[in-house]
A and B are shown apart, each in its own frame.
Chain A
Amino acid sequence: MAAASSSDSDGCGVESNEANLKWLDAHYDPMANIHTFSACLALADLHGDGEYKLVVGDLGPGGQQPCLKVLKGPLVITESPLPALPAAAATFLMEQHEPRTPALALASGPCVYVYKNLRPYFKFTLPQLPPNPLEQDLWNQAKETVITTMTTLKKNLADEDAVSCLVLGTENKELLVLDPEAFTILTKMSLPSVPVFLEVSGQFDIEFRLAAACRNGNIYILRRDSKHPKYCIELSAQPVGLIRVHRVLVVGSTQDSLHGFTHKGKKLWTVQMPAAILTMNLLEQHSRGLQAVMAGLANGEVRIYRDKALLNVIHTPDAVTSLCFGRYGREDNTLIMTTRGGGLIIKILKRTAVFAEGGTEVGPPPAQAMKLNVPRKTRLYVDQTLREREAGTAMHRAFQTDLYLLRLRAARAYLQALESSLSPVSATAREPLKLHAVVQGLGPTFKLTLHLQNTSTTRPVLGLLVCFLYNEALYSLPRAFLKVPLLVPGLNYPLETFVESLSNKGISDIIKVLVLREGQSAPLLSAHVNMPGSEGLAAA
């Protein structure tokens, strides 16, 4: 037994990612040859044997050979060709009879094909549009409309296993609700544009809300009794997905962002994605009551968001084009992904995995809840407030006068500094120089280093002198006067000299450094070096 030493030789766990501790890699087949998007994936117990199957409306490679595939575990168990490209797949319960096996509906072209027990059961075709009699012959075929999107809506009970109606969106800007048993049109609603994504909540016989994302970049919200949209959300870009999470409508847009809206069209939040959104779907973990949005991105990531908070990132070897989460086989929390190259990835959420919001806190920061210790109002405070109220204008004027005086004084001081070259930076056109002094050592002997830099771009500077002015009772320098070599533009010239502190009382003073041009008495620039106290003498 157990002769092979490789931990895992085929399929399982090849993709295992250390950072992704929440998911088990159940299956990865890059050559699965499944080309589809999220609307064409559905999970259901089609045979009523407790083993959930995956239904795929497959567009075929390059959209050439559309077919219906049913998968059990990693294997395709049935495959049947379709006459036209699939638009959406949905499973729903048609009637109350036992055994309660769900029917499968596949929208393709102008028809909805309904299968029971994986056998064709009914074909619903959209009603013909009334053609203009003059153009009838010409437009006879062109007038046929097609289904763009499909979803299900519970008929009259909110239970998980209640009978559902099919809701269809069509190319001629209409929404149809079909009777689950007779497949007659129960109601018809018209939209200003072609619907591409649908989200429905509620029950048909009681009250329902229908959100339809349309090709004109708007989302229309309809209710029972309303033949026309009640609210309209105008997006600034085209929608790429529409998911309802609890009471929030989450829309993905072509601007690489997710937006949250209320059912009345009020915008709640926006999250920016690192890449274009390719597909979206709902992640619902019943055992923990979690609902989140999954978004497959063009950079090969699948991001899971609860509202604005990022819960998890899954890295996939190829960009994911369709996503589906739910019960598959006998495992409740299974994530099925198909990739752009036709690959199939199946991951299972660990039983112990908990989605925690990583770092990004939602709501107000904790500091906001802290009570500040505000002191009580004192007599002084009350008096001052009264005074401010009475003499507000005068106080403001006095303050303004002082402010002007301060500015004037600052300007004067600056001008004087410029005139007498007191600043360490000279900005004159002939000698653009920068001076920077550093004092090293503990004393009594210090090392004073002057860093002199010619800041002009081309002109070298020649014939400069450095002169130190200091109190001779306190300090002694070997030379109070230095000749500066030629300064090449841009280079930093350190000029070093030693300074000996003569005082034994720990007194420190200022040494003035002047940079002069030969033959001129006014310095080009100057620096005041604050000498540190001599530690050496203080210790002695």
Chain B
Amino acid sequence: MGLLDRLSVLLGLKKKEVHVLCLGLDNSGKTTIINKLKPSNAQSQNILPTIGFSIEKFKSSSLSFTVFDMSGQGRYRNLWEHYYKEGQAIIFVIDSSDRLRMVVAKEELDTLLNHPDIKHRRIPILFFANKMDLRDAVTSVKVSQLLCLENIKDKPWHICASDAIKGEGLQEGVDWLQDLSTATTWKL
């Protein structure tokens, strides 16, 4: 960052840019979450399964997010690791109503956490326990228990219960990411 850029960030004229990876199994609601975070005039009405990945941008009060919305389908999941280096934060979305595939989500999360590009970085991870509106959804506490999130000791993480269709719980997560970026202990 040049001096002018730094100055403009300090004066609040220009927002700090953050690269975020949005990961999670297929049909967990990644694209719906990102879509809901975009300004209402830029939102699309029907969400289709993502092929490969797509890049989306949205802003919060002090940050400008560039999101790599990765496809969660099994055959595209090997693409994720190529973007780990560029990511400064991770959003991991879980379908709380899919009890059967909770183990698959855990497996993918463990693979992510053990990847050499992630393992030794203090990269923040924001979990969305999505689809809270569904009848057979489990609570976010249960999700964090099933994914063994308490074992993540060296990275800041946070889990939010969310309903991406209504947009509930999404702002809480984004605020957490933003607070973290302004805290002195950790720099994005």
Contact = CB atoms under 8 A, between A and B. Distances in A.
Interface in A277-310: 287
A170 B15 CA distance: 74
Contact of B149 (A2, A11, A27): A2
A351 B112 CA distance: 13
Nearest to B75: A287
| Interface of chain A: mostly helix, strand, loop or mixed | loop
Nearest to A287: B75
B149 A330 contact: no
B100 to A, nearest CB: 4
Interface string A318-350: 000000000011111010000000000010101
A60 interface: no
A2 B150 contact: yes
Best-surrounded residue of B99, B108, B111, B149 (most CB of chain A within 10 A) = B99
Contacts of B74: 287, 331-332, 351
A494 interface: no
B20 interface: no
Nearest to B103: A24
B140 interface: yes
A: interface residue count bin: 20 to 34
B103 A329 contact: no
A3 B141 contact: yes
Contacts of A5: 150
Contacts of B140: 1
A156 to B, nearest CB: 30
Given A1-B149, A2-B150, A287-B74, A73 B98 contact: yes
A6 B141 CA distance: 13
Contacts of B78: 351
B104 interface: yes
Interface in A1-45: 1-9, 11-13, 24-27
Given A1-B159, A287-B75, A74 B150 contact: no
B: interface residue count bin: 20 to 34
A75 interface: yes
Contact of B104 (A4, A73, A331): A331
A24 B145 contact: no
B140 to A, nearest CB: 7
Contact of A1 (B25, B100, B141, B148): B141
Given A2-B145, A2-B149, A12-B146, A331 B77 contact: no
Given A25-B103, A287-B74, A331-B104, A1 B98 contact: no
Given A26-B101, A73-B100, A330-B98, A9 B75 contact: no
Contacts of B75: 287
Contacts of B104: 24, 26, 331, 348, 351
A368 B12 CA distance: 75
B111 to A, nearest CB: 7
B144 interface: yes
B69 interface: no
Contact of A328 (B25, B27, B100, B102): B100
A329 to B, nearest CB: 5
Nearest to A334: B100
Nearest to B141: A1
Contact of A27 (B100, B151, B159): B100
B172 to A, nearest CB: 12
A50 interface: yes
B5 interface: no
A352 interface: yes
A287 to B, nearest CB: 6
B103 A50 contact: no
A12 B26 contact: no
Nearest to A24: B103
B144 A50 contact: no
A75 to B, nearest CB: 7
A7 B148 CA distance: 6
Contacts of A25: 103
B107 interface: yes
A2 B90 CA distance: 19
A26 B100 contact: yes
B86 interface: no
Best-surrounded residue of A2, A6, A50, A329 (most CB of chain B within 10 A) = A2
A12 B103 contact: yes
Nearest to B159: A1
B46 to A, nearest CB: 15
Interface string B131-158: 0000010001100111011110000001
B136 A26 contact: no
Contacts of A351: 74, 77-78, 104, 107-108
B2 to A, nearest CB: 39
Best-surrounded residue of A73, A74, A330 (most CB of chain B within 10 A) = A330
Contacts of A334: 100
Nearest to A13: B103
B150 A329 contact: no
Given A1-B149, A50-B27, 12 more contacts: A2-B144, A2-B149, A6-B145, A8-B148, A26-B101, A73-B98, A287-B74, A328-B100, A329-B101, A330-B26, A330-B27, A331-B74
Interface of A: 1-9, 11-13, 24-27, 50, 73-75, 287, 328-332, 334, 346, 348, 350-352
Interface of B: 25-27, 74-75, 77-78, 98-104, 107-108, 111, 136, 140-141, 144-146, 148-151, 158-159
29 contacts: A1-B159, A2-B144, A2-B145, A2-B149, A4-B141, A6-B145, A8-B148, A12-B103, A13-B103, A24-B103, A24-B107, A25-B103, A26-B103, A27-B99, A27-B100, A74-B100, A287-B74, A287-B75, A329-B100, A330-B25, A330-B26, A330-B27, A331-B104, A334-B100, A346-B100, A348-B101, A350-B107, A351-B104, A351-B107
